[in-house]
Amino acid sequence: MISMREVTKVYRTGRVDVEALRGVDIDIDGGDFVSIMGPSGSGKSTLMNIMGCLDVPSHGTYLLDGEEVQGLHHNRLAEIRNEKIGFVFQNFNLLPYATARENVEMPMVFLGMPAAERRRRSHELLNLVMLGDRMDHRPSELSGGEMQRVAIARSMANRPAIILADEPTGNLDSASGLEILNLFERLWKDGHTIIIITHDASIADRSRRIVHMKDGLISEDAPNHA
Amino acid sequence: MKSATLFRYYWRELRVQRKKIALTVAAIAWGTLSIVLLLAFGEGMKDQIDRARRGLGEDLIIVWGGQTSIPYKGLPRGRPVRLHPEDVDLLRERIPGIRRISGEYSRWGTPITYGTETVTRHMIGINPEYGEMRNWIAERGGRFIDLEDMRTKRRVVFLGPNLKQDLFGDREAVGEQIIVDGVPFTVIGIMKEKLQMGMYSGPDVDKAAIPASTMETLFAQRAWFGNLVYQPGEPERRKAVERELYRVLSGKYQFDPDDESALSIWDVIDSQKTMRTMMTGIQVFLGVVGGLTLLVAGVGVANIMYVTIKERTREIGIKMAIGAKPDNVMYQFLTEALIIAFVGGGIGLAASGVLVRILGGIEIENEGLQFLGKPTISWEIGVITVAILGAIGILAGIFPSRRAARINPAESLRYE
């Protein structure tokens, strides 16, 4: 599903070049459940951005679901994000003036899916995350855990190749956080490819493979035998 | 389908920014009102001045005698050239390029009496063609001087409306007798009210006119045959007719046909062309001033676009993350700018339409202000305004919206 070779990212800040990633090689197969761990400054956020096609590498190649994406135009990258990536963010990032259902449907709107099919699918997804009775609520009317569940439903809207979650439980209390992690595990068992970025070892422990990052490189990459 | 849903969402986003957008829309409405009103006044003024210059007459040339400046056939320079009544027929016969021609006798300070009311006014003695050339049109119930009056040297008089008012007030004047310089005359007609721009012996509305033949017979001693008035058949060829005129009169009065100062000519057609150009210049000026006002409002639109985009950076980032293309984002904001421009413009246009109607209904007595005319919104003004609004919408929108499209979703999403 994902294949990166010698991926490097350099940021120019003023006169100094910052090497956020210094040659990352990684392969992730479909159906895997991976955690990417590391302290702040390790490059894990940069790696996530590149994996999610929110940013492009300075050097190296990135093969996503069979397609080379490192040199693509930003319009095409937007399409790839729409078709192949499902994002879940720490601060939920739902559209504030849309209902839960409309939020879930938004990626499908950008895809060009007809309204009837969108409606059917958003119902299905919201029921899957057990929010069938809150479909017409706005984010301001939902709790943190509920908002994150809407985000997860949204991430699956267009049947993406990977679901990328950046500190998904960071803004949640432990009970809601647990619910979310249970949900991810269920999705993984259903066959989805899940990648979680976190600094919290107890969260990483729920996954099946843990990748450690340090100073812009992968320092360890092993299955989780917990 | 897709656009409809997205549009619904954009509309909701816009509604949240109601207050800010309302102020910007108001600014555009104000700017539009300014430019439309200015252009409308310019248009009204142009129309009025058009009407006023026709008050003097259409396609006219006026000829006075002058003074020679070139010695000719033994005669010295500095000789005065005086026109005579028979020149009218002479020129009419010899120059086919002249369509109408009349002589003009002038008598300043003529005492005119009706009942106990006596006034002194300018009196002219003219041929019947004068009426049509100089727009001395009779009110209904009266008529202008005709060929029969000329032939029989009738004692008939045609009055300007101001003169009629001074003598008769609101009473009926046609058919009445008045005493002109001691001689009884019958009033045969009153001139229709007119605005007059351009004159050479005072405004027509204050004058009295009698047949030239009558003037000659009764008042030859006290009248001065001052000038000729003619209309060339083809205004484009009037310079050639003018040269002909010089040629014919130089033969009679013995001056060099190339001696320009031998006659004094006022080419009214030339003056009126100049006036038109000046009016167009004024219109352009007014348009520019109004346009600048609108431009300032346009800057306000650009400003509000930058502000809202800054505030909505996170949302833009979210949409991009889930698949909105930078181009889509750009078009969305460009459309928002255009909507603000056209809604504001629509309000401004409607308001100016109402104002123009109200202002147009006010009657103006002051003679100077009468040249202002009535503000008019022509369809050209509408088209120009819409075009400017479109340009402003696009210009004000393009830079902020390109900025929006360049938002990096990765950055905008990580921070609160």
pLDDT score at B414: 67
pLDDT score at B372: 77
- Boundary of a domain, candidates B199, B228, B257: B228
Mean pLDDT (whole number) for B182-211: 92
> Between chains, do A95 and B9 touch, taking CB under 8 Å as contact?
yes
Write out chain B residues lying below 8 Å of A98, CB-based. 9, 12
> Between chains, do A79 and B325 touch, taking CB under 8 Å as contact?
yes
Exposure string for B253-281, b = 16+ CB within 10 A, e = fewer: bebbbebeebbebbebbeebeebeeebee
Name which of B5, B323, B414 is nearest A81 (Cβ-Cβ).
B323
The answer on B142 and B208 residing in a single domain is yes
- Domain annotation covers residue B10: yes
- Residue for token pair 């008035």: B229
The CATH number of the domain holding residue A64 is 3.40.50.300
- Domain annotation covers residue B123: yes
Q: State ipTM.
A: 0.90
Question: CA of B389: how far to CAs of B6, B42, B304, in Å?
Answer: 25, 20, 16
Say how many domains are in chain B. 2
Give tens-digit pLDDT for B57-76. Answer: 888 999 999 999 999 888 88
Residue B146: pLDDT over 80 = yes
Give tens-digit pLDDT for A112-123. Answer: 899 899 999 999
Please, are residues A47 and A24 in contact by the beta-carbon 8 Å criterion? yes
**Enclosing domain of residue B219:** 102-228
Pairing of strands A67-68, A85-88: unpaired
pLDDT score at A226: 61
3 state DSSP class of A139: helix
> Between chains, do B410 and A49 touch, taking CB under 8 Å as contact?
yes
Write out chain B residues lying below 8 Å of A112, CB-based. 2
Residue A137: pLDDT over 90 = yes
- Domain annotation covers residue B299: yes
Residue of A nearest to B8 (CA): A98
> Between chains, do B322 and A154 touch, taking CB under 8 Å as contact?
yes
First-residue to last-residue Cα distance in chain B: 33
The band of A13, judged by pLDDT with boundaries at 50, 70 and 90, is confident
Mean pLDDT (whole number) for B156-162: 95
> Between chains, do A75 and B314 touch, taking CB under 8 Å as contact?
no
Give Cα B340 to chain centroid, integer Å: 35
Name which of A89, A109, A110 is nearest B413 (Cβ-Cβ).
A89
Give tens-digit pLDDT for B83-98. Answer: 999 999 999 999 999 9
Please give, rounded to a whole number of angstroms, the shortest distance from the CA of A89 to a CA of chain B: 8
- Domain annotation covers residue B248: no
Name which of A95, A106, A114 is nearest B1 (Cβ-Cβ).
A114
Report angle CA B348, B352, B355 to the nearest 5 degrees: 140
User: From the CA atom positions of chain B, what is the Rg in Å?
Assistant: 33
The tokens of A211 are what?
């990748």
Query: Which chain A residues touch B if contact means CB-CB below 8 Å?
Result: 45, 49, 52, 54-55, 74-75, 78-79, 81-83, 87, 89, 91, 93-98, 102, 105-107, 109-112, 114-115, 154, 157-158, 166
**Enclosing domain of residue A33:** 2-223
Residue of A nearest to B408 (CA): A54
The band of B415, judged by pLDDT with boundaries at 50, 70 and 90, is low
Say how many domains are in chain A. 1
Sheet holding A194-198, edge to edge: A85-88, A162-166, A194-198, A33-37, A209-214, A217-223
Write out chain A residues lying below 8 Å of B328, CB-based. 110
Report angle CA A52, A56, A57 to the nearest 5 degrees: 110
Please give, rounded to a whole number of angstroms, the shortest distance from the CA of A53 to a CA of chain B: 9
The band of B300, judged by pLDDT with boundaries at 50, 70 and 90, is confident
The mean predicted confidence, pLDDT, of chain B is 89
What is the distance between the alpha carbons of residues B320 and A220, in angstroms, rounded to a whole number?
32
Residue A225: pLDDT over 80 = no
Exposure string for A201-226, b = 16+ CB within 10 A, e = fewer: eebbebbbbbbbbeebbbeeeeeeee
- Closest alpha carbon to B108 in B193, B214, B206, B216: B206
Residue A11: pLDDT over 50 = yes
Mean pLDDT (whole number) for B190-201: 89
The band of B184, judged by pLDDT with boundaries at 50, 70 and 90, is very high
- Domain annotation covers residue B254: no
Could you give the percent of chain B with pLDDT greater than 70? 98
Any A CB within 8 A of B408 CB: yes
pLDDT score at B416: 47
Give tens-digit pLDDT for B262-284. Answer: 999 999 988 888 888 998 899 89
Q: How many CB atoms lie within 10 A of CB B245?
A: 26
Write out chain A residues lying below 8 Å of B404, CB-based. none
Which of A215-224, B53-62, B93-102, B307-316 has the highest mean predicted lDDT (pLDDT)?
B93-102
Please give, rounded to a whole number of angstroms, the shortest distance from the CA of B293 to a CA of chain A: 35
SS (HEC) of chain B? CHHHHHHHHHHHHHHHCHHHHHHHHHHHHHHHHHHHHHHHHHHHHHHHHHHHHHHHCCCCEEEEECECCCCECCECCCCECCCCCHHHHHHHHHCCCEEEEEEEEEEEEEEEEECCEEEEEEEEEECCHHHHHCCCCECCCCCCCCHHHHHHCCCEEEECHHHHHHHHCCCCCCCCEEEECCEEEEEEEEECCCCCCCCCCCCHHHCEEEEHHHHHHHHHHHCEEEEEEEEECCHHHHHHHHHHHHHHHHHHHCCCCCCHHHEEEEEHHHHHHHHHHHHHHHHHHHHHHHHHHHHHHHHHHHHHHHHHHHHCHHHHHHHHHCCCCHHHHHHHHHHHHHHHHHHHHHHHHHHHHHHHHHHHCCCCCCHHHHCCCCCCCCHHHHHHHHHHHHHHHHHHHHHHHHHHHCCCHHHHHHCC
Give the count of Cβ contacts less than 8 A between chain A and B. Answer: 75
The answer on B313 and B201 residing in a single domain is no
Mean pLDDT (whole number) for A123-146: 92
Residue positions counted in chain B = 416
Please give, rounded to a whole number of angstroms, the shortest distance from the CA of A74 to a CA of chain B: 7
What is the distance between the alpha carbons of residues B413 and A90, in angstroms, rounded to a whole number?
10
> Between chains, do B323 and A98 touch, taking CB under 8 Å as contact?
no
Any A CB within 8 A of B3 CB: no
Write out chain B residues lying below 8 Å of A81, CB-based. 320-323
Give tens-digit pLDDT for A30-49. Answer: 999 999 999 888 888 899 99
- Boundary of a domain, candidates B168, B193, B228: B228
The answer on B386 and B294 residing in a single domain is yes
pLDDT score at B4: 73
Question: CA of A138: how far to CAs of A147, A150, A153, in Å?
Answer: 9, 11, 15
The answer on B278 and B384 residing in a single domain is yes
Name which of B1, B16, B322 is nearest A87 (Cβ-Cβ).
B322
pLDDT score at B367: 66
Name which of A55, A106, A110 is nearest B410 (Cβ-Cβ).
A55
Write out chain B residues lying below 8 Å of A154, CB-based. 322
The answer on B198 and B124 residing in a single domain is yes
- Hey, of B3, B10, B311, B322, which one would you mutate to test binding to chain A, going by the most A CBs within 10 A of its CB? B322
The answer on B409 and B277 residing in a single domain is yes
pLDDT score at A5: 93
pLDDT score at A77: 92
Pairing of strands B224-232, A67-68: unpaired
